[in-house]
Structure 1
């Protein structure tokens, strides 16, 4: 095993030990390759990021978003001393658990599985990496998933707690969690400590690589969702000069991302971005305006990353920061600017009135599929999920197998399954 500075042998361990390999690659490089070649990652190419992937040739999918997060996270992490492949693996993995129809599908599955602990995309990611996307088996015949190293699995844990243990923020228990009750054994293994140093993560403490992944995710979708929305004709940045439009963005930013922060502070964050040379008040689809929009996206990514790097270095010095020997620091002003960018996309895409009937129809499709597959047992389940259904000890386990099946579907396959299985229409290949 090739040594990696800043990481111990403990960090390279896998849940199921594997024989040493004569390889030019580190164990972390092999982790990245396992995720990159997974079917779960390929399926993200047909899953909604913000706008449905089949609606426009330009918009980002979950796959292109994940690739962009990986690029941002890899460079940010390497600058701070993290192993770039550990961060890259976490970034490529971070959305694997998302079901069809994005967060709308996630909410639908959560309600449908309330009796068995609910559904959460991040908990589903851990389940995919350690159980559903199989490369290795345990001694008892059970799946060990991709059998990634401890460091890579921990880096992919954005919310390292169960639903009951979720922390309270702003007086409310957060809805996000990263592990289902039935997956606690592997979770406890990967969170069991940090080897010879004796350092152990505190409850809910994320490792440095996971913090980098989380920030790279926030930065990427804050700027890229705005870019997609502008190109799709949803809004123009010059609208922020209109008090009504500005007020709408401020309201959604506060409600969704910055509860407790006053309007003036959010408006000031918008103002700082508007004052930059890169701000594009209007884009008309020409090559020049598209280039300007792309430059704004690039410059804002650099702006946010640089601010975090400078603040983190000011606190922790120049030593390599890995695992639990440091903390990523995002200045408050930078956090507000990122949130304001997210508020722009929220105000004009995710909450637009015209999309509400679409969201309702998506929830109906998810609900109908779960109901049908629950009623028909293993009849329509793919072989892997049918095996899980048969191995389940009770109705709860069988429902989880159904939920896993539906969550694995892409947007298009969910619509097709619904059309053929629920509506009873014949299969139709739209390409021929």
Structure 2
């Protein structure tokens, strides 16, 4: 069934197009093709063994970047449908938002930021743009995935403008300024409604699923949650209504209800902001001085308390920190080894370093490491530094 399109929705029939012109599909809109290209990319498949909070090989029950991205996309489609905007564009932005993350989550990113500090730096959002515009090699006519302007905009600006009007490229992370067409992405404006939906869907997914994974790991306990704003009342309500259910079902039901509360809050606040703004087309949304997709003030305050709790009790827990430190060490030592001798790189990557400057070589090493899964990074580290099994 075809749903009416809101006037502020992005319309694939009016897309600003692709960097490399291609014939339109008879079966799919521009945004559907973008979504499919993202799903079929190598970078997307590698998310299956990249850390969300717990290192991917620690257990099959925990989220990885891939399962997280799928959950974000599911929430994004729900919000987009309710707001009568383009579901496919919201889904594409959601599926692509983590493609630039290195192995070992934020600890891997911290290690690459330190290693690349004198070579232009590292930023996972900028790396995502680099992946989809350059590093994916799947098509004979162009590098990257040749996504539509609206999807590129959504990937780059889903968290808001990257610069103020009049700023130059010096304020941008290297990966954005290195993109030859960065000015066309209008980095001083907000993104469209669909990309803003993807950003809030990310917040909803990771807050709830980190609670879920933290409980299932045993690092968090139900008793710890009972006095926590937002989460506590929901867990207490579920326990009261279903006193005889198992802990596993209690966790699932409470997390499900928490997601529903947050989605309902975003819908109510977004509808209020859209009505007050008077925005009646995508350009009017982009020109506003604040996002239209948002949590209410009350929900924002409660979520801040939840995040503080998760940082103190999950992200900084010694078991998680130990794995994070191991991940940092693996990334740091791989970078040092490959930069010191690029001939240690696999043959296709060596070619990019032949005759290259120190900065270009460092960027190649960074691209190689950022694309690794947790498991592959550990295996590469073992091959370079372990003597186990030598005869």
Report how far residue 295 of structure 1 moved: 1.5
For residues 322 and 185 of structure 1, do their structure 2 counterparts lie closer, same or farther at Cα, with a shift above 3 Å needed? farther
**1:344 alignment partner in structure 2:** 309
Partners of 1:12 and 1:28 within 8 A in 2: no
Is there any run of 5+ residues in structure 2 with no aligned partner, and where?
A: 166-170, 286-291
1:417 and 2:389 are equivalent in the alignment: no
Task: Give distance in 2, aligned partners of 1:386 and 1:30.
Answer: 33
SS of the equivalent of 2:19 reads coil
**1:101 alignment partner in structure 2:** 104
C-alpha RMSD over aligned residues: 3.0
Partners of 2:103 and 2:377 within 8 A in 1: yes
- Superimposed CA distance per residue, residues 250-299 of structure 1 (whole angstroms, 9 cap, x where no aligned partner): xxxxxxxxxxxxxxxxxxxx3444234665679xxx96332221121111
TM-score of the pair, normalised by structure 1: 0.77
Partners of 1:218 and 1:338 within 8 A in 2: no
- Superimposed CA distance per residue, residues 35-84 of structure 1 (whole angstroms, 9 cap, x where no aligned partner): 01111111111111001121112111111000000000111122223211
**1:386 alignment partner in structure 2:** 350
**1:120 alignment partner in structure 2:** 123
User: Whose helix proportion is higher, 1 or 2?
Assistant: 2
Task: Give distance in 1, aligned partners of 2:305 and 2:345.
Answer: 44
SS of the equivalent of 2:178 reads helix
Task: Give distance in 2, aligned partners of 1:234 and 1:49.
Answer: 15
- Superimposed CA distance per residue, residues 64-115 of structure 1 (whole angstroms, 9 cap, x where no aligned partner): 0000000001111222232111110111111111111100000000010011
1:52 and 2:10 are equivalent in the alignment: no
Find runs of 4+ consecutive structure 1 residues off by over 6 angstroms: 318-322
Q: Within 5 Å, which residues of 2 pair with 1:54-203?
A: 54-136=57-139, 143-157=142-156, 158-159=158-159, 165=163, 180=175, 183-191=178-186, 203=188
**1:19 alignment partner in structure 2:** 23
Match of 2:358 among 388, 395, 416: 395
Structure 1 window deviating more from structure 2 (272-281 vs 106-115): it is 272-281
Match of 2:197 among 180, 195, 212: 212
Task: Give distance in 2, aligned partners of 1:417 and 1:43.
Answer: 15
Task: Give distance in 1, aligned partners of 2:297 and 2:239.
Answer: 25
Task: Give distance in 2, aligned partners of 1:48 and 1:322.
Answer: 38
SS of the equivalent of 2:284 reads coil
Partners of 1:81 and 1:321 within 8 A in 2: no
Task: Give distance in 2, aligned partners of 1:219 and 1:274.
Answer: 16
For residues 324 and 280 of structure 1, do their structure 2 counterparts lie closer, same or farther at Cα, with a shift above 3 Å needed? farther
TM-score of the pair, normalised by structure 2: 0.84
Report how far residue 379 of structure 1 moved: 3.9
Which of 1 and 2 has higher RCO (CA within 8 Å, sep 6+)? 2
